């Protein structure tokens, strides 16, 4: 066999370029990392404790007139506008946005001032969207109101 005229490739002495290119793997790893970081941020949710329904729940139902006088009321109407009422205010205040509603609730909470009074009544119209009702419930919890009640109503009730 004459090895003088044969090239290196013919002899199987080819240079080893069998190394794996790591660039696509690193790209995929970074994409997965970003995906999990973004989805983990959305996993944080507020929880609202709801007491279990007892057998004598019908006997425990209350009307609006039976609620405490020193409570903050947030009414969400069918147009998703917030109406905030508090003790000492002559009339309800209209808040078209969530930040403005939250500011009114903070103001009402500071005006009451007493720690022992910590209740909120959220009255939600049946046509109100769920997002607005949850925003009203979250507003009460964010200002430290521990007793949060939810009531539904229809337009004929007011």
- Give the CATH number for residue 132: 3.30.420.270
From CA 125, how far away is CA 39, in angstroms rounded?
32
Is pLDDT of 8 > 80? no
Decide if 43 is inside a domain.
no
Query: Number of folded domains in the chain?
Result: 1
Decide if 19 is inside a domain.
no
| pTM of the complete model | 0.58
Show the domain range for 101. Answer: 67-157
Decide if 101 is inside a domain.
yes
Report the percent of the chain where pLDDT is more than 90.
13
pLDDT in tens, 67-96: 556 688 899 988 889 999 888 788 889 998
Give the three-state DSSP class for 80. Answer: coil
DSSP β-bridge partners for residue 75? 83, 123
Alpha-carbon radius of gyration of the chain:
32
Q: Are 118 and 70 in contact (CB under 8 A)?
A: no
Decide if 57 is inside a domain.
no
Residue range 118-133: average pLDDT?
A: 87
Decide if 47 is inside a domain.
no
Average pLDDT, the chain: 76
């Amino acid at each position: 066999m004459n090895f003088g005229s044969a090239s290196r490739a013919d002899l199987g002495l080819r240079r080893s370029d069998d190394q794996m290119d790591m660039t696509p793997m690193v790209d995929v790893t970074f994409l997965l990392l970003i995906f999990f970081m973004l989805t983990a941020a959305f996993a944080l949710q507020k929880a609202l404790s709801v007491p279990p329904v007892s057998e004598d729940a019908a006997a425990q139902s209350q009307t609006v007139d039976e609620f405490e006088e020193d409570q903050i009321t947030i009414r969400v109407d069918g147009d998703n506008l917030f109406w905030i009422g508090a003790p000492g205010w002559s009339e309800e205040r209209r808040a078209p946005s969530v930040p403005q509603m939250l500011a009114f609730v903070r103001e009402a909470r500071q005006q009451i001032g007493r720690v022992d009074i910590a209740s909120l009544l959220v009255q939600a119209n049946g046509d109100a969207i769920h997002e607005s009702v949850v925003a009203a419930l979250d507003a009460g919890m964010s200002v430290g109101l521990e007793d949060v009640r939810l009531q539904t109503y229809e337009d004929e009730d007011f």
